[in-house]
Every structure is written in C-alpha cells, then in structure tokens.
C-alpha cells in the first residue's frame, strides 16, 4: 500500500530539547516536503527536497533542519524547539512527473512545546 508514515504522531516536549520527527515514503517519490498547519493559516511549507542530498527552504524554515540521505526518508529536526513551534506537522511526498495529480500526506504529528 502506498503510504507516507510519520513518527511520532503526538509529542509533548519542553523548550530547548532537541527532537526529530521521522518521515518515510514507500513510493520512490523524488519530492518530499514538510508543512506545518496553524489555525487560520492553512498549511505552510517548511522545507522541501527534490531528491537525495538536495534540500531547500520553503516559506517558514526558521528553527527547523532537514536531511535527505536516502530517497525514502526525510526527517524534520528541531534543534531547540520553542513554544511558537507548537503545531500540526505534515510530511508529504510526490513524484515530479507532470500529470500525476496527488501529493501523498502522512497522518500528521501534533507537537506541543512547553
């Protein structure tokens, strides 16, 4: 079954304690990205990756890091989380072939930073 998995699904942490949210896809997609969702703002892209070892900033990259060492994995790293990073996070993957119509989203990770 084609899917994007994220772990953990729920996380409560404290300010400054480094954390990693993992993301993995089994569809051999080139493109992967992270979004955060906040009320009234929809989803905003944090970082994206066009392929292995190729990453770039999205619209709201401050306070986040990513890496893409393997095609299937795209972890999101918060080196020093702050309360304003409390949000719902989605990983997504997509092929770059024109005409393919959907992005696949992971189930989401709810993060609370105290």
Partner 1 sequence: AQKITQTQPGMFVQEKEAVTLDCTYDTSDQSYGLFWYKQPSSGEMIFLIYQGSYDEQNATEGRYSLNFQKARKSANLVISASQLGDSAMYFCAMRMADSWGKLQFGAGTQVVVTP
CB of 82 to partner 1, least distance (A): 22
CB of 109 to partner 1, least distance (A): 10
User: In sequence order, what are the residues at sequence separation of 6 or more whose Cβ sits closer than 8 angstroms to the Cβ of residue 82?
Assistant: 15, 16, 63, 113
Verify binding: residue 90, partner 1, rule CB under 8 A.
yes
Q: Mapping DSSP to helix (H, G, I), strand (E, B) and coil, where does residue 100 land?
A: coil
From candidates 46, 92, 111, 113, binder to partner 1 by CB under 8 A: 92
Verify binding: residue 42, partner 1, rule CB under 8 A.
yes
From candidates 11, 19, 52, 88, binder to partner 1 by CB under 8 A: 88
- Residue 103 and residue 92 in contact, taking contact as beta carbons nearer than 8 Å: yes
87-94 and 31-38 strand pairing:
antiparallel
Sign of the C-alpha dihedral, residues 1, 36, 76, 30?
positive
- Residue 71 and residue 86 in contact, taking contact as beta carbons nearer than 8 Å: no
Of 9 and 14, which has the nearer Cβ to partner 1? 9
Residues that bind partner 1 (CB under 8 A): 30-33, 35, 40-45, 48, 50, 58, 88, 90, 92, 94, 96, 98, 101-103, 105, 107-108, 110
């Amino acid at each position: 079954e084609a899917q994007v998995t994220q772990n953990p699904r729920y996380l409560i942490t404290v300010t400054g304690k480094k954390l990693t949210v993992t993301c993995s896809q089994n569809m051999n997609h080139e493109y992967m990205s992270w979004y955060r969702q906040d009320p009234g703002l929809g989803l905003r892209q944090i970082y994206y990756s066009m392929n292995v070892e190729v990453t770039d900033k999205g619209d709201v990259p401050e306070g986040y890091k990513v890496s893409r060492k393997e095609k299937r994995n795209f972890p999101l790293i918060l080196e020093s989380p702050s309360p304003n990073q409390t949000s719902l996070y989605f990983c997504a993957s997509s092929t770059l072939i024109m005409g393919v119509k959907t992005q696949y989203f992971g189930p989401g990770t709810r993060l609370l930073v105290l």
